[in-house]
Structure 1
Amino acid sequence: MTFAVPVVDIAPYVTDGTTEARARTAAEMDAACRTVGFVQIVGHGVAAGITDGLATAMDGLFERPLDVKSRYRTPPEVNRGYSPPKSESLSLSLGVESATRMNDFFEAFNVGAAASWFPGLDLPQPDYAENTWPDVPGFQDAVLAYFHEAARVARTLTAVFADALGLPAGFFDRFTGHSIDVLRMNNYALPPGQIDLDGDLTGMGEHTDYGIVTVLWADRVAGLQVLGGDLAWHDVMPDPGALLVNLGDLTARWTNERWLSTLHRVKPPVVDGRIERRRSAAFFHDGDLDALIETIPTCLAPGEAPTYPPITVGEHLTAKLAGSRAGVRNVSAERDAARVRAAT
């Protein structure tokens, strides 16, 4: 069977579509989440000017010299600012030891929901850290414009999810009132001589995403690979104008793995011995720090026990980020680590 990422039109949820159109979208989403865990969405309503502005802002930052970008680096526990090449290892978030620790060659810049965005809640640091903005003309405005559009899309998706799972409308709202949302902008093109194009080079190691849902804008350049049900890695590239969406670990926990948090990775986009530029921006909608995630009863068959114990969003994210950013192997992710080891 040929591997393919399903395309789902979410326009009925963006433009107040009919009950029948929404039901069709919800059914298509349920099928995609059960079988692949990755979805291409169209009808999302994000204007091309917004994504073009994001791409221009990313270029303005990543084209700066490394010593300039490194001024915006933050400690590992602060999921903000600049991450230089080979400073992270996503496979450690699954408890998988890489051949070389901190071997992911991508560079990234993170911005996210800050405590100041939620006055009166007294949200803790560093989970709701304030953002570090680089001195790049137009960067902050362009990035925030896309951030807020991606947040709208993510919340629209949770409305689709509620219908697809047969849950009350707004079910997920009580878990996302002060969601830890992060936009990670990635760059996979590095100056000649800065890296060694050998067999161990990893663009971004095997991992699942951590939260509820991820909304991904990406160049139409090879590199992203998804682990299929056949335990083989498959190349994935977005259709023109589409956004890629994948489920995170928390949704897999909620649904007792009825829906999939799919393993994925990025391989170096090498053309004629050189790395071709590839950019992506992943918006992670992760939920409230103090939200308790436990299996939704309607996702359990009669007599079936939950696969995962209850956990707070904060507890889950702490273990995952300690792996990817601080190099601490996540010992609680054995189910995902086993899938990585079984992959061909």
Structure 2
Amino acid sequence: MDSSSQTPASLHHASSHQAPFSVPVVDIAAYVTGGSPEEKAEAAAALDHACRTVGFIQITGHGIPAERFAGLMQAMDDFFAGPLEAKKEYKRPAKENRGYSPPKTESLSFSLGVDPVSRMNDFFEAYNVGAGASDYEGFTPSTGDYAENTWPVTEGFREKVEAYFAEARRVALNLQDAFADALGVEQELFRAKSQHPINVLRMNNYALPPGEIELGAELTGMGEHTDFGFVTVLWADQVEGLQVLDTQGRWHDVMPADNALLVNLGDIAARVTNDQWMSTLHRVKPPVVNGQIKRRRSAAFFHDWDADAVIETLPGTVEASSAPLYEPVTVHEHIRAKLAGSRAGIKNTSAVREQARVQAAL
């Protein structure tokens, strides 16, 4: 339950003197290569500032080799270049969060309970793979969040994607430790909640063919949404389209810097910090430049904790005279409500705070 559905006044009146919007750049090499305590403290402080003010971060020093990115891009290109009917053979039930999603079968804004102009209007196509139950030795899941993957017969797809998945997972865990340090809690607190996380890699292709096209309000690349989990590690083309909502209710274009990954917080991070850290609203507008559709690709790695982990506010994040902004909920319950909105068209009624921010956006 959300104890405060009021929209902050700052969302209605953006200051004319506000500083230019930018996404902070943070070097996390100290957490990747085993830096000194001082180097880690510097990185953690920079992350804390970014998480409190923007909720999006450009990270460098992540340590992912160039060949892993090249392999991922090749795998995506080879699969998405195939005919639509062949790709549809890999479509899975929405609740499994695996396999292929054709264009215009999702609406991310429904995950926030926000009505899109048309019911399922996001024109991206996607392929999802994730951690299955068999990836965790001796683990028997009590929920349906650990479906095994379906792998296309596209040559080299599985090998290239699995290689990148392992790197992105490692970066997410590096960040998780850094976030614990930034919040002044033991790293083990977060590690205990991610013994068998329901990690998912979503590979996106904005599927309108290149050329001139008139885009109306009924069609969007990916509707406004917050990510569902703890942290998202995003590889993306340096192509226009991604937009981030600032604290003044204004949308800003964002592209990854050279050799950087974009990282953003998800709902779990916002909930455990009682909104001291930001699960930032973002969307993808049609990548149109001078009237031409530009091809855009991205791959989002979602680190979402264990399905049975309880999301609850950390000690010290709620004043003694106040109630937490969110009641405890399991990761499974939270993710199910979000997926039912975006992929099954069942409006999520529990995202009151996020919905208010969308409706107040300028």
Aligned residues of 1:184 and 1:281 also touching (Cα < 8 A): yes
> What does the per-residue CA deviation read over 1:12-31, in whole Å, with 9 as the maximum and x for residues that have no partner?
11111111111100100000
Which among 111, 114, 117 is matched to residue 129 of structure 2?
111
TM-score normalised by structure 2 residue count: 0.93
Paired letter, 1:71: E
Q: Could you tell me how far apart the structure 1 residues matched to 2:343 and 2:24 are?
A: 32
> What does the per-residue CA deviation read over 1:148-189, in whole Å, with 9 as the maximum and x for residues that have no partner?
100000000010001000001322001000000000000013
Is 1:237 matched with 2:240? Answer: no
Which among 153, 156, 170 is matched to residue 171 of structure 2?
153
Paired letter, 2:29: A
Q: Could you tell me how far apart the structure 2 residues matched to 1:36 and 1:68 are?
A: 40
Q: Could you tell me how far apart the structure 1 residues matched to 2:276 and 2:298 are?
A: 28
Paired letter, 1:153: V
Aligned residues of 1:197 and 1:273 also touching (Cα < 8 A): no
The answer for the alignment partner of 1:198 in structure 2 is: 216
Gapped regions of structure 2 (runs ≥ 5): 1-18
Which among 190, 199, 203 is matched to residue 172 of structure 1?
190
Q: Where do 1:8-87 residues align within 5 Å?
A: 8-87=26-105
Q: 1:70 to 1:8 in 2, by over 3 A?
A: same
* Identical-residue share of aligned pairs (%): 62
Q: Where do 1:87-98 residues align within 5 Å?
A: 87-98=105-116
Q: Could you tell me how far apart the structure 2 residues matched to 1:320 and 1:199 are?
A: 23
Deviation at 1:230, TM superposition (A): 1.2
> What does the per-residue CA deviation read over 1:116-174, in whole Å, with 9 as the maximum and x for residues that have no partner?
11232112463100101111111000000000100000000010001000001322001
1:8 is paired with a residue whose SS is strand
Aligned residues, how many?
344
TM-score normalised by structure 1 residue count: 0.97
The answer for the alignment partner of 2:120 in structure 1 is: 102
Aligned residues of 1:189 and 1:275 also touching (Cα < 8 A): no
Paired letter, 1:275: I
2:283 is paired with a residue whose SS is strand
Q: Could you tell me how far apart the structure 2 residues matched to 1:230 and 1:293 are?
A: 27
Is 1:288 matched with 2:306? Answer: yes
Aligned residues of 2:111 and 2:225 also touching (Cα < 8 A): yes
Q: Could you tell me how far apart the structure 1 residues matched to 2:267 and 2:62 are?
A: 23
